[in-house]
């Protein structure tokens, strides 16, 4: 006599069930397969970061070489730091914290329209912040020199304000850099974001080393930069050109 059936027959043997349970999905990526890729990506990022630090040291040396007058150095540093401060306060943290997971989700869902919408809205927002920064340049410089007496800071504020108007567009390109970095990272592309700051440092170093030659073979003073539109434009646009080169890279 045959034994009673435990349930309705499905036509699937025990061997087939076991095979279905044990076999991994065809698209599964094991830790062993990801390890070499992760190692290569980490090595690329580490190398890019190291080169960025080395060229950053060279940039500091170039700044000391080209701008060794204290008041001119202060004006340049204040103006060059301000876009970073404004950008980070208004948008930098938001972009860094949210864009990568958003783009990864869009990629997984094949949602190109969603990615395009994020890029478009971010670009418009960056333009608006940059325009506001240009208009607010005198106020920003005044805040950065609030503890300096007017008789001392007059020329310094004038030069810093003029330079800041050259530097404020950096916020737009910083934002695009964060946007493009997030897009690349979502696609597991890490080389360009890692090495791009190196190009920025090299461009600014070239500008700073050339500045004394444009100033008649001597280190330019604060009053000389204030009264010479060419020196002011080279120093201002040359520094911003480094950020533009980084973004394009």
Q: In the prediction, which pLDDT does 146 show?
A: 81
Give the HSE-up count for residue 204: Cα atoms under 13 Å, Cβ half-sphere.
Answer: 28
Query: pLDDT in tens for each of the 249 residues of the chain?
Result: 444 444 444 454 444 444 444 444 544 444 555 556 778 778 888 898 899 899 999 998 888 888 876 678 888 988 998 888 877 777 776 776 788 888 888 888 888 898 899 899 999 999 998 999 999 999 998 888 887 776 667 788 899 999 999 999 999 999 999 899 888 888 888 888 889 999 999 999 999 999 998 888 888 888 889 899 999 999 999 999 999 999 998
CA gap 193, 195 in Å, rounded: 6
Nearest to 198 by CA among 54, 43, 41: 54
Q: In the prediction, which pLDDT does 223 show?
A: 87
User: How far, CA to CA in Å, does 56 sit from each of 33, 37, 97, 173, 196?
Assistant: 36, 28, 25, 19, 12
CA-only gyration radius of the chain, Å = 27
Structure tokens of 83? Answer: 């876009």
Q: In the prediction, which pLDDT does 110 show?
A: 87
DSSP 8-state code for residue 88 = I
Q: In the prediction, which pLDDT does 162 show?
A: 94
Q: In the prediction, which pLDDT does 35 show?
A: 59
Q: In the prediction, which pLDDT does 99 show?
A: 83
Cβ-based neighbours of 53, under 8 Å, separated by 6 or more: none
Domain residue limits, the chain = 51-248
pLDDT tens by residue, 220-237: 888 889 899 999 999 999
pLDDT tens by residue, 114-159: 889 989 999 999 999 899 999 999 999 888 888 777 666 778 889 9
Q: In the prediction, which pLDDT does 32 show?
A: 54
Q: Give this prediction's pTM.
A: 0.78
């Amino acid at each position: 006599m045959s034994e009673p059936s435990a349930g309705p027959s499905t036509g699937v043997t025990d061997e087939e069930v076991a095979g279905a349970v044990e076999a991994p999905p065809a698209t599964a990526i094991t830790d062993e397969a990801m390890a070499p890729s992760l190692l290569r990506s980490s090595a690329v990022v580490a190398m890019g970061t190291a080169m960025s630090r080395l060229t950053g040291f060279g940039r500091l040396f170039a700044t000391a070489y080209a701008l060794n007058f204290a008041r001119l150095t202060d004006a340049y540093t204040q103006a060059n730091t301000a876009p970073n401060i404004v950008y980070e306060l208004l948008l930098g943290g938001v972009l860094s914290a949210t864009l990568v997971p958003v783009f990864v989700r869009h990629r997984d869902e094949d949602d190109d329209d969603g990615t395009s919408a994020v890029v478009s809205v971010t670009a418009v927002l960056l333009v608006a912040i940059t325009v506001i920064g240009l208009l607010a340049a005198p106020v920003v410089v005044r805040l950065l020199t609030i503890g300096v007496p007017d008789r001392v800071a007059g020329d310094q504020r004038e030069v810093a304000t003029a330079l800041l108007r050259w530097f404020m567009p950096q916020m737009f390109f910083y934002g695009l850099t964060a946007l493009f970095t997030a897009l690349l990272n979502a696609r597991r592309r890490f080389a360009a974001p890692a090495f791009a700051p190196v190009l920025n440092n090299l461009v600014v170093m070239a500008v700073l080393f050339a500045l004394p030659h444009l100033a008649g073979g001597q280190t330019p003073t604060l009053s000389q930069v204030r009264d010479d539109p060419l020196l002011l434009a080279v120093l201002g646009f040359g520094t911003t050109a480094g950020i533009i080169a980084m973004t394009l890279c």
